[in-house]
């Protein structure tokens, strides 16, 4: 299989390097649509950092976190060789050592045991504050938590994520000890953070979107695409890196594009058919809400003529449902909503266009009952 080199990202790299060059003062939220290249950008940057930085990268992807113990396991990494945690700190802070990168925050068995015995977040967060304070004497610590939304709904007495935000605020705005990057593809989570009073003035946002047209053209050109092929690729896949990779690896890119579009269109039809026949629900602030099929269709139809819409122009329940199902993406910083990818936009247009009248799923009696029920509910709101 062809090996694909890291491509471009000059603008975002510059922005992140400018942050790393200055004193830590804000939590940086790195957000963007699914598969836009956030993790790739961050991991590439980690590799390139100068010697004075020590990076702790924690990826919550694939981790199941529902309680204190899983959280501690996800955050820390056991270093069995060292007996004393001060020994670990000493090694990390060694000025002569080159830049260090850790996956997870290394601690000794003794510290881990203590966490499991004490079982309080205060202990863990106090420990981390001391840990980073000590490292910051000689080096610049950088803490990166990828897929932070995984703990967005974890509640143990209070929401865990707020406890973590408190620590992040301490490390950045208050003590200026450590750079903190929180990475996420979950735009509902970012929207929540955006409107969170406790973080106002204490964080900033960096959008890592799909490649723009120039970056896409340069990427494809490097891999031998002709002008015509590049045009078709941009028209159908936009600058979504994973999608472009599939085209680069394909023997026949145009056939591949047709296949990707067919697949996404089929998925969208199945999604709508299921919603129409079986109904759908979403929980918002502990309350279950029924999805109104007609309102969902109205939202999707807005994309027949527009590529992005005002995020306040659609009803809240449909918005959340379409975002949760990875069809739409919210950018709370710009105040817009758009499909997760160019392929999604084309699939929406295909399904909502003229073809919709021909294909339109027939309603079952149950679906009719459901949608009229939720419609009357939405009218009373």
| Site for ligand ADP, rule CB under 6 A | 4, 6-9, 32, 34-40, 185, 241-242, 245
DSSP 356: H
C-alpha angle 38-39-44 in degrees, rounded to nearest 5: 100
6 contact, one of ligand ADP, Mg ion, none, CB 5-8 Å limit per kind: ligand ADP
Q: What residues contact 310, with CB distance under 8 A and at least 6 apart? A: 335, 336, 337
Supply the minimum distance, in Å, between the C-beta of residue 185 and ligand ADP. Answer: 5
34 contact, one of Mg ion, ligand ADP, none, CB 5-8 Å limit per kind: ligand ADP
Residue number with CB closer to Mg ion (39 or 149): 39
Q: Which stretch binds Mg ion (CB under 5 A): 33-41, 252-260, 287-295, 337-345?
A: 33-41
Residue nearest ligand ADP (C-beta atom) = 37
Nearest to 279 by CA among 372, 359, 379: 372
Residue number with CB closer to ligand ADP (38 or 139): 38
Could you tell me the two tokens for 99? 């830049």
9 contact, one of Mg ion, ligand ADP, none, CB 5-8 Å limit per kind: ligand ADP
Q: Which stretch binds Mg ion (CB under 5 A): 36-44, 194-202, 255-263, 321-329?
A: 36-44
Sign of the Cα torsion 206, 22, 195, 159 reads positive
Supply the minimum distance, in Å, between the C-beta of residue 56 and Mg ion. Answer: 17
Supply the minimum distance, in Å, between the C-beta of residue 7 and ligand ADP. Answer: 4
Residue with tokens 């109104």: 292
Q: Which stretch binds Mg ion (CB under 5 A): 38-46, 82-90, 100-108, 336-344?
A: 38-46
d(CA 252, CA 326): 28
179 contact, one of ligand ADP, Mg ion, none, CB 5-8 Å limit per kind: none
Residue number with CB closer to ligand ADP (188 or 295): 188
Residue number with CB closer to Mg ion (13 or 375): 13
4 contact, one of ligand ADP, Mg ion, none, CB 5-8 Å limit per kind: ligand ADP
d(CA 49, CA 43): 10
297 contact, one of Mg ion, ligand ADP, none, CB 5-8 Å limit per kind: none
Residue number with CB closer to Mg ion (39 or 318): 39
Sign of the Cα torsion 76, 80, 81, 84 reads positive
Residue number with CB closer to Mg ion (41 or 299): 41
Residue number with CB closer to ligand ADP (241 or 280): 241
Residue number with CB closer to Mg ion (241 or 339): 241
Q: Does residue 299 contact residue 318 with C-beta atoms inside 8 Å?
A: yes
Q: Which stretch binds Mg ion (CB under 5 A): 39-47, 90-98, 121-129, 241-249?
A: 39-47
Supply the minimum distance, in Å, between the C-beta of residue 80 and ligand ADP. Answer: 30
116 contact, one of ligand ADP, Mg ion, none, CB 5-8 Å limit per kind: none
Supply the minimum distance, in Å, between the C-beta of residue 183 and Mg ion. Answer: 6
SS3 at position 87: helix
245 contact, one of ligand ADP, Mg ion, none, CB 5-8 Å limit per kind: ligand ADP
Q: What residues contact 203, with CB distance under 8 A and at least 6 apart? A: 26, 27, 28, 29, 193
Q: What residues contact 297, with CB distance under 8 A and at least 6 apart? A: 272, 352
Residue number with CB closer to ligand ADP (192 or 223): 223
* Strand ranges for the chain from DSSP E: 27-31, 53-59, 76-78, 100-103, 105-107, 140-146, 155-156, 158-159, 179-184, 203-207, 281-284, 287-290, 309-310, 328-331, 336-339
d(CA 132, CA 178): 7
Residue from the set 8, 36, 39, 265 that interacts with Mg ion by CB under 5 A = 39
Q: How far is CA 161 from the centre of its chain?
A: 15
Could you tell me the two tokens for 30? 């790195």
Q: Does residue 367 contact residue 278 with C-beta atoms inside 8 Å?
A: yes
* φ and ψ of 115, to 5 deg: -60, -45
Q: Which residues bind Mg ion (CB under 5 A)?
A: 39
């Amino acid at each position: 299989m062809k090996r694909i080199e890291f491509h471009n990202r000059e603008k975002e790299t510059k922005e992140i390097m400018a942050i790393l060059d200055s004193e830590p003062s804000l939590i940086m939220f790195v957000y963007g649509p699914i598969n836009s290249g956030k993790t790739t950008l961050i991991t590439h940057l980690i590799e390139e950092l100068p010697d004075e930085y020590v990076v702790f990268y924690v990826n919550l992807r694939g981790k199941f976190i529902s309680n204190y113990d899983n959280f501690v396991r996800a955050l820390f990494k056991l270093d069995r060789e060292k007996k004393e945690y001060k020994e670990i700190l000493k090694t990390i802070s060694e000025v002569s050592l080159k830049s260090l990168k850790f996956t997870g925050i290394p601690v000794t068995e003794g510290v881990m045991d203590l966490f499991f015995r004490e079982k309080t977040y205060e202990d863990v967060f106090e420990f981390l504050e001391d840990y980073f304070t000590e490292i910051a004497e000689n080096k610049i610590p950088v803490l990166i938590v990828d897929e932070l939304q995984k703990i967005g709904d974890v509640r143990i007495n209070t929401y865990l994520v707020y406890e973590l935000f408190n620590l992040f605020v301490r490390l950045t705005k208050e003590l200026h000890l450590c750079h903190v990057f929180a990475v996420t593809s979950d735009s509902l989570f970012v929207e929540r953070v955006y409107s969170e009073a406790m973080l106002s003035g204490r964080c900033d946002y960096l959008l890592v979107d799909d490649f723009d047209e120039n970056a896409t053209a340069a990427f494809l050109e490097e891999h031998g695409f002709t002008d015509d092929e590049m045009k078709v690729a941009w028209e159908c896949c936009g600058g979504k890196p994973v999608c472009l990779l599939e085209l680069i690896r394909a023997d026949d890119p145009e056939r591949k594009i047709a296949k990707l579009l067919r697949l996404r269109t089929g998925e969208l039809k199945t999604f709508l058919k299921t919603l129409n026949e079986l109904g759908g629900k979403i929980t918002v602030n502990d309350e279950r809400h029924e999805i109104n099929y007609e309102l969902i269709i109205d939202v999707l139809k807005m994309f027949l003529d527009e590529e992005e819409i005002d995020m306040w122009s659609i009803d809240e329940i449909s918005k959340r449902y379409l975002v949760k199902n990875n069809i739409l993406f919210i950018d709370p910083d710009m105040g817009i909503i758009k499909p997760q990818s160019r392929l999604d936009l084309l699939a929406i247009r295909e399904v909502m266009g003229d073809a919709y009248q021909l294909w339109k799923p027939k309603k079952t009696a149950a679906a009719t009952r459901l949608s009229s029920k939720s419609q009357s509910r939405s009218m009373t709101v």
